Amino acid sequence: MGDVVVRGGVVVLAERAERLDVVAHDGVVVALTPPGTVDTLGVEVVDADGLLVFPGVVDAHVHFDDPGRADWEGFDHGSAAAAAGGVTTVVDMPIDSDPPTVTADAVRAKAAAARERSRVDVALWAGLTPRSVGDLAAMVEAGAVGFKAFACPSGWDDFPPVDDASLAAGCAAAAAFDVPVAVHCEDRRLGSGPESEVASVRWAATIASAAGARLHVVHASACEAVDEARRWPGVTVETCPHYLVLTDGDVRAIGATARCAPPIRSAANREGLWARLRGGDIDWIASDHSPCPPALRRGAHPWAGISGVQLTLAVLLDAGLDRVRIAGLLTAAAAALRLPGKGPISVGNDADFALVDPDASWGVEAKDLFDRHRASPFIGRALRGRVVRTLVRGRTVYDIEAGVCDAGGGRVVRPAQI
Ligand SMILES: [Zn+2]
């Protein structure tokens, strides 16, 4: 691949935003130069005049369910939605696919599906269950970035929750390989209120800290869960856009597409999450993109999960969060998961960019969405700020006029060795 220059935009760097041209060679950023100072002869020029150039979003929590359950969501539709949302790397969760990612063979099967169908780059979580403890080393060897476990039933018989012994064994392996253990923290014996999250975080953090492992609390929804996580050194915590902008009242109004676990809570909790986010208590934001066929959202035991990979960046822009903070929160997982070349825009990193029109006002419609079922609790929402073009390693994978590129082209990213 030749050279690409992203010209005339305001580049959102790790510490500041500045008008710069970004020069990429073979998919890697090689220079950040004052505007108009690069010779563009024979070079692909991407005009970013009037646009913000964000680092491509690293979404550390998606469920693309592929192979085996692409009728829920697969790398084809999922990566199209990611590309249209400025997401250039997704880290896929080990449940929902068939087989679940609980063996080295399953890691390789998922990697093959990603390479074949994904437009964006992909990294893989490995599943930690009582049955997969003996497979953890082989899964790291096969390229997994860390282990994901459930503290409560996952909804799948082939992905049971961890108990004390299997979580301890998983944490010991994680410490040995210096990879994180991500845990879905809910203690359903306590119901679904904040105390369920808090008790579960405390349980997981106690076991992880005894093993010297890095615990990552996925999708914290209750403020108290964030506070509990912060009490433990070495524990990181993520939240999701839906917890930051929606309330339990919205869930009642919107219905099935806004139901998730843990649930979206009160307006007061939402404000509390913002305070913690602004105070630096939340390490990163991920979508927990978790679609299912619409029919499964109905009935006595409806499946819960929010499709959000496409709208994370737009929703945070609309919420008025500072752009440098947004870039930090949407790329921080790259360092924690040791994804080579991923993270902030800087020389030596991959040329992964989300070009954003900060002034575009638009209303989210189903036809704008690229996920398998075009379902989102944000349909009907007016947003200010929109992704207009996305580049993965210098290659345009989405353009607001042209749409998404053909499926494929994504790489599987393995963690850097220490
Ligand atoms: Zn999830």
Quote the ligand 1 centre to 78 CA distance (angstroms). 14
Q: Check pLDDT > 60 for residue 1.
A: no
Per-residue confidence (pLDDT) for residue 301, from 0 to 100: 85
Quote the ligand 1 centre to 62 CA distance (angstroms). 6
Please state, for a pLDDT cut of 70, what percent of the chain lies above it.
Answer: 99
Q: Domain check: are 397 and 356 in the same one?
A: yes
Q: Say how many CA atoms lie within 13 Å of 182 toward its Cβ.
A: 28
- Residues 134-156 have pLDDT tens digits of 999 999 999 999 999 999 999 99
Q: Is residue 209 part of a domain?
A: yes
Quote the ligand 1 centre to 286 CA distance (angstroms). 9
- Residues 101-117 have pLDDT tens digits of 999 999 999 999 999 99
Quote the ligand 1 centre to 120 CA distance (angstroms). 19
Q: Is residue 154 part of a domain?
A: yes
Mean of per-residue pLDDT scores for the chain: 97
Q: Domain check: are 64 and 17 in the same one?
A: no
- Residues 219-248 have pLDDT tens digits of 999 999 999 999 999 999 999 999 999 999
- Residues 284-306 have pLDDT tens digits of 999 999 999 999 998 888 999 99
Closest C-alpha among 32, 33, 112, 27 to residue 67: 112
Quote the ligand 1 centre to 290 CA distance (angstroms). 6
Q: Is residue 270 part of a domain?
A: yes
Determine the residue type at 151: A
CATH number at residue 399: 2.30.40.10
For 77, the token pair is 């539709």
Mean pLDDT of 78-97: 98
Task: Domain of residue 272: give its range.
Answer: 56-336
Instruction: Provide the whole-model pTM.
Output: 0.97
Q: Is residue 415 part of a domain?
A: no
Task: List, as ranges, residues with CB under 5 A of the ion ligand 1.
Answer: 288
Per-residue confidence (pLDDT) for residue 109, from 0 to 100: 98
Q: Check pLDDT > 60 for residue 34.
A: yes
Q: Domain check: are 23 and 166 in the same one?
A: no
DSSP 309-320: TTTHHHHHHHTT
Mean pLDDT of 21-34: 97
Quote the ligand 1 centre to 93 CA distance (angstroms). 7
Quote the ligand 1 centre to 288 CA distance (angstroms). 5
Quote the ligand 1 centre to 96 CA distance (angstroms). 10
Residue 200 to residue 357: CA distance in whole angstroms: 41
Q: Is residue 413 part of a domain?
A: no
Quote the ligand 1 centre to 177 CA distance (angstroms). 23
Helix/strand/coil for 350: strand
Quote the ligand 1 centre to 287 CA distance (angstroms). 8
Q: Is residue 366 part of a domain?
A: no
Q: Is residue 153 part of a domain?
A: yes
Quote the ligand 1 centre to 378 CA distance (angstroms). 18
Q: Domain check: are 169 and 246 in the same one?
A: yes
Quote the ligand 1 centre to 261 CA distance (angstroms). 8
Q: Domain check: are 113 and 151 in the same one?
A: yes
N-term to C-term CA, the chain: 29
For 254, the token pair is 């919107």
Q: Domain check: are 85 and 225 in the same one?
A: yes
Q: Domain check: are 37 and 181 in the same one?
A: no
Q: Check pLDDT > 80 for residue 2.
A: no
Q: Domain check: are 141 and 284 in the same one?
A: yes
Q: Domain check: are 110 and 209 in the same one?
A: yes
Looking at the structure of the chain, the number of domains it has is 2
Segment holding 165, helix H or strand E: helix 164-177
Q: Is residue 35 part of a domain?
A: yes
Q: Domain check: are 249 and 274 in the same one?
A: yes
Q: Domain check: are 144 and 254 in the same one?
A: yes
**Is residue 338 left, alpha or beta, with left meaning phi > 0 and alpha meaning psi from -120 to 50?**
left
Quote the ligand 1 centre to 183 CA distance (angstroms). 10
